[in-house]
Chains A and B, each alone.
Chain A
Amino acid sequence: MEYRERSQIVERAKQIAPVSDDDIEQLIPLLDGVRGSADLLESLIQPFDGEVEVDQLSSTVEGDR
């Protein structure tokens, strides 16, 4: 996920819709969750000759091993 800075997020959001400052304030914390999920998944992807081994992944709701 390439949108990490507030300025990038505001610029992208305004390209899409007439967002207000309030909308942006709601959106930013939601995107923290989206970014966390996207980064987590990207970190799990293996080299070309590897596979994701789920039995080595987390055992908790919060994603801890």
Chain B
Amino acid sequence: MTANPITLTLAEQVKLVKSGHISVRELVQQHLTRISELNGTLNSFITVDERDALAQADALDSRLAAGEDPGPLTGATVGVKDSIPTNGLRTTDNSRLLENWIPKEDAKTVARLRRAGAVIIGKTNLNEFGWSRPSEADLSPPPWNPWNPDRMSVGSSSGSGAASSAGMASATIGTDGGGSARLPAGAHNLYGLKPTHGLVSRLGMDHNGHSEISPLGRTALDIALMLESMAGFEPEDDMSWPADVPPYSENLEADIGGWRIGVPRNFIDSAPNEPEILSGFESFLSKLESLGAELVDVDLRGMAEARAANFIVLNSEAYQRHQKSLKTDWNKYGPITRVYLLQGAFLSANDMLNAAEIGRSFRSYFSRLLETQNLKALATPTSPFATAERSRRPGEHSRGINACYTAPFNISGHPSISLPAGFGDAGIPVGAMLTGELHNDLTLLQLAHAYDLNTDWSSKTPPL
């Protein structure tokens, strides 16, 4: 038996379980021990049901003993953002409004993860309702970054980022409505993919049509294994894409020599990037170039307008969902969250439709840009800021500057992945991002895998 399996990647853990070197129960117990050692400091999880996790493990061990193959994620432990409903497991959205809510059904994506053999180990921390700014007054205090526990984790899928990087779960899932999974992936030395809109069903979730359920993990292969288990057509979901899901993990190997990667220098130069962000990004580009990719300077337009459109849609949808509860339960919401949620009440249907039209125009434009320039992907930093504290400065947060690279691709629906790109002065990781053509998530995973195999970021673990 391996001494400490939690230091391995998800793919390695599954291999150990399937080869009989370790039982699912042993693997789950190791993760539970890690959670009990660290969660009091890091606040990565809001709810962990040890008995339920071990029961899932025992059921999988019984199937393995009977000669069954439970699936590609057999025994892998997955932390689920606490905004995603889980059958029988408390789901709070980090809000006193839902403090005692125990869903009677899994969100479809969670059900798919279970069918692939995953163990749902607990519910990860987030900004209240995935919105707002975190506060010590939240139901669960904000998570701290394992790479520097004096610093907050970037959200909103902050607990998912912290849990994955600290080895408290094999992988995690978050949601990404403006960067909320890619930003914490970048700040935790992880890979985090926002899939093409409609590839992973949101059925069972409550609001934000462009908030995609997104895997976060330590390697590109881990992300591929998670994605192929989560993705797929759900006929009851009107946004679900009716197509077969390719076996991403079996098709990761690719020679990226000659692949053209767009770099929008003018746009990047206009952002208030911190120096370590630019340093990490240039190293990232150099590595791609050393692997044979061709970097192409592109004139990228409309990012600010697309970010504004995404902001209007997010605000409208958030208010629509909360309008009744804001009236009846105002004081149960956090004092910052309730004001954030109120913003959408001041928008009109015309504002929302204008945003949708700009979003459609940007989607067409960006796909055309990739096609006409023969680009496999566009490269940018994931965030202009190297710490959560900087990204939450009120003036910049309310204008969405922290999401200047990420949010436009929520309204457009293009797939987008954050990759590790080094560390900032505070010891917090920084990310670089690749964005590609609709329904070509595989190309991004191939690029990420080639990068992963030729860098050592995924072997690094936080100094805990």
- Residues of chain B contacted by A16 (CB below 8 angstroms): 323, 326-327, 342, 345
Contact check: which of A12, A23, A52 meets B339 at CB < 8 Å?
Answer: A23
Contact stretch, chosen from B156-164, B285-293, B357-365, B451-459: B357-365
**Does A21 belong to the interface (CB within 8 Å)?**
no
| In the complex, chain B residues 176-193 whose Cβ is within 8 Å of any chain A Cβ | none
User: Is the pair A58, B303 in contact by a Cβ cutoff of 8 Å?
Assistant: yes
| In the complex, chain A residues 9-65 whose Cβ is within 8 Å of any chain B Cβ | 9, 12-13, 16-19, 22-23, 26-27, 29-31, 33-38, 40-42, 44-45, 51-52, 54-64
Min CB–CB distance A59 → chain B (angstroms): 5
Min CB–CB distance A40 → chain B (angstroms): 5
User: Is the pair A54, B301 in contact by a Cβ cutoff of 8 Å?
Assistant: yes
Min CB–CB distance A53 → chain B (angstroms): 8
Contact check: which of A2, A18, A60 meets B270 at CB < 8 Å?
Answer: A60
User: Is the pair B270, A13 in contact by a Cβ cutoff of 8 Å?
Assistant: no
**Does B272 belong to the interface (CB within 8 Å)?**
yes
How long is the Cα–Cα vector from A29 to B354 in the complex, in angstroms?
Answer: 22
**Does B100 belong to the interface (CB within 8 Å)?**
no
- Residues of chain A contacted by B343 (CB below 8 angstroms): 27, 30-31, 34
User: Is the pair B347, A41 in contact by a Cβ cutoff of 8 Å?
Assistant: no
Interface size on A, residues (CB 8 A): 41
* Nearest A residue to B344, CB-CB: A34
- Residues of chain A contacted by B401 (CB below 8 angstroms): 61
**Does B404 belong to the interface (CB within 8 Å)?**
yes
* Nearest A residue to B400, CB-CB: A33
User: Is the pair A60, B267 in contact by a Cβ cutoff of 8 Å?
Assistant: yes
Interface size of B as a range = 35 or more
**Does B266 belong to the interface (CB within 8 Å)?**
yes
User: Is the pair B271, A55 in contact by a Cβ cutoff of 8 Å?
Assistant: no
User: Is the pair A42, B354 in contact by a Cβ cutoff of 8 Å?
Assistant: yes
Contact check: which of B309, B312, B326 meets A34 at CB < 8 Å?
Answer: B312
User: Could you list some 20 contacts between A and B, CB below 8 A?
Assistant: A1-B351, A12-B345, A12-B346, A16-B323, A17-B326, A19-B342, A26-B335, A27-B339, A30-B340, A30-B343, A40-B305, A44-B305, A44-B358, A54-B302, A55-B301, A57-B302, A60-B304, A61-B267, A61-B272, A62-B304
For the complex of A and B, the 6 pairs showing the least CB-CB separation, nearest first, are: A60-B270, A54-B365, A63-B304, A37-B308, A57-B302, A54-B302
Further 19 A-B residue pairs, CB within 8 A, beyond A13-B342, A27-B343, A33-B400: A1-B347, A16-B342, A16-B345, A23-B342, A27-B339, A27-B342, A30-B340, A33-B311, A45-B354, A45-B357, A54-B301, A54-B305, A54-B362, A55-B301, A58-B304, A59-B270, A59-B300, A60-B304, A61-B270
